[in-house]
A and B are shown apart, each in its own frame.
Chain A
Amino acid sequence: MTAQTPTSAVTANTTRAGARGSGGVVLWTSAGFLVTVVLAAVFAPLVAPADPNAIDFGDIWAPPGADHWLGTDQMGRDLLSRVVHGARESLLGPLLLLLLASVLGVAMGTLAAWRRGWVDVLLARVTDVMYAFPGLLFVVLVIAVFGSGMTTAVVALGLAFTPIIAKFTRSVALAECAKPYIDAYRVQGVSGLVICLRYLIPNMAPALLGYLVVLFGEGLMSLATLSFLGFGAQPPSSEWGLMVQEGQSALIQGVLWPALVPGAAIALVVVAFNIVGVRVADRLNSRR
């Protein structure tokens, strides 16, 4: 994950400086775009003009037009319908992997900050080993062992994101534990588990939530990359990374739409998420 970590740090800091100066237009456009995408994903069968898996070999690689607004792919399937339906898998995947990573990561990070000692050392060692694998290589190792597929990819990425979230949680929890109210509960004889679950974690939630929104774009990017390599979603899924891979063969023949449409969808959603995520993180942090 090391390759990702500096990138996300850069994204966080630079857009923050940029967003403040440029005002709210970019922010609200991005937020509106994301809401539209999420709504389209939820109501995909109503929004999509055609069946995403309806094959028509008489109409392959059709250019965008009245019949097919964004054209058709190598099997004559309607690209707009596929992108709209693909939004479900493309957005649900990162959500699930972040859910897994944050449950594990918050538990590990809180435990490390609360107990210190060997738990803390263990977390540091695990993180070290994870960071020894540049980029997605740890995930690639897991996929090499358990085979390709969306479930494996989501679980592997969830595990890869865990130490990142754990490290962040640890630093927030250390600052929070130093505050007097924690000692106050402790003096009253409240058990450590209750303090962590009822007071410590809820108080860290805003900071964690902001961080998770920023990580969402990263998760979407990584998952789409895995699908592009053939390790994630499998045909006939219309996950966006897989769609780009399937459209790639048409590029040489001058047919650009099948790869560019899902590619643009990924890029736009990731950019929008980074813009909104950074602002949300900013807002939540300043409130603390």
Chain B
Amino acid sequence: MTTHVLRRLGGMLLTLAVSSALIFGAMYAAPGDPVSFLVGDPENVTPERIAAVRAEYHLDQPLLVQYWLWLGGAVTGDLGTSFQYNAAVSDLILTRLPTTVSLVAYAAVLFTVLGIALGALSAVRRGRRTDAAVTAGTTLAASVPSFVLAIALISLFGVRLGWFPVTGLGEGFLSRVHHLTLPAIALATGALAIISRVTRQTMVEQFDLEHVAASRASGIAERHVVRRHVLRNSLGPVVTMCGLVTASMLSGTVVIESAFGLSGIGALLVDAINNLDFPVVQAVLLCMVVAYMGVTTLIDLVHPLLDPRVRIEGNRV
């Protein structure tokens, strides 16, 4: 068990090291000298100013030293200074973090609840019309790109019916939920198909097992069999999948935040790319990769704790 944990953590650190080097190094593959973005106003460019900027951003150091300084800073929370806003990148990210986190959390609640409900419904009605309808519906929904769905939701519920506000965040909890409803739906829809399919699949497998037949034979009501035995036993893979999908949603926020004009981290990334704000691009990408890798590794490590069957099989091997 300990070797497994250590190996998994080591693998994660190695992948993180390589991807952070990629994120950092990529910026220096860019055509043009970063210095030309930093000096700002081309009117008063003096050699002294260029030298000062180079020193401030360590551009005069070898690439490996720059990477080391950048990584060391990132670990201690110093992500550099934004060229565009002339503010600490960590502050920019921290002020926008709540928007992104609440959006992802809202979407996660939506697709978890709806996905498991739909999956359970089609597992109970497997092979019948409801099953086919749920499968076709969720697959269809997953085929629509999230930004197209966002536009359609804004058009219908925001503009035509006027049920939901189309921009901004709102004050207070209820207003925020109201403002984030359409973005969360647009973000969650793609994941619905994955979750409902995993739920359906694992539940259908459970239905064929002997313990279900035994429960039925001892006269337990069908709804109890479904809820306490079939669903409960299927939750392991479903919870794992929900975690993985939530982690990958970080990148989905880039599109959704742009479509709905929310000022979260995803929108910050798009804005930074369009303004050649390198430190912000690097920092946001690094944060997203770290968060994604962290969550996926965590799920991998926690999974055996949640599901004793995995633990026992793991020990046997």
Contacts and interface: CB of A to CB of B under 8 A. Distances in A.
Which bucket holds chain B's interface residue count? 35 or more
Contacts of B154: 251
B244 to A, nearest CB: 8
A224 B143 CA distance: 13
B220 interface: no
A215 to B, nearest CB: 13
Contact of A6 (B140, B245, B258, B270): B245
Contacts of B15: 128-129, 132
Contacts of A21: 132
Which bucket holds chain A's interface residue count? 35 or more
Contacts of A231: 273
A21 B11 CA distance: 44
Nearest to A8: B142
A251 B252 CA distance: 22
Contact of B144 (A15, A132, A267): A267
Given A135-B248, A141-B23, A259-B155, A13 B273 contact: no
B65 interface: no
Given A3-B252, A141-B26, A251-B155, A270 B247 contact: no
Interface in B60-93: none
A64 to B, nearest CB: 15
A10 interface: yes
A263 interface: yes
Contacts of A248: 151, 259
Given A137-B285, A144-B26, A260 B254 contact: no
Interface string A135-174: 1110011111111100000000000000000000000000
A202 B132 CA distance: 36
A262 B11 CA distance: 43
Given A225-B147, A252-B167, 13 more contacts: A11-B193, A129-B22, A135-B250, A141-B23, A141-B281, A142-B26, A144-B30, A146-B30, A224-B145, A225-B145, A260-B151, A260-B152, A263-B151
B135 interface: yes
Contact of A252 (B23, B146, B166, B289): B166
B145 A221 contact: yes
A112 interface: no
6 closest Cβ contacts across the A-B interface? Answer: A135-B251, A3-B248, A263-B148, A134-B251, A134-B248, A271-B143
A217 interface: yes
B136 interface: yes
Nearest to B17: A129
A256 B138 CA distance: 25
A229 B255 contact: yes
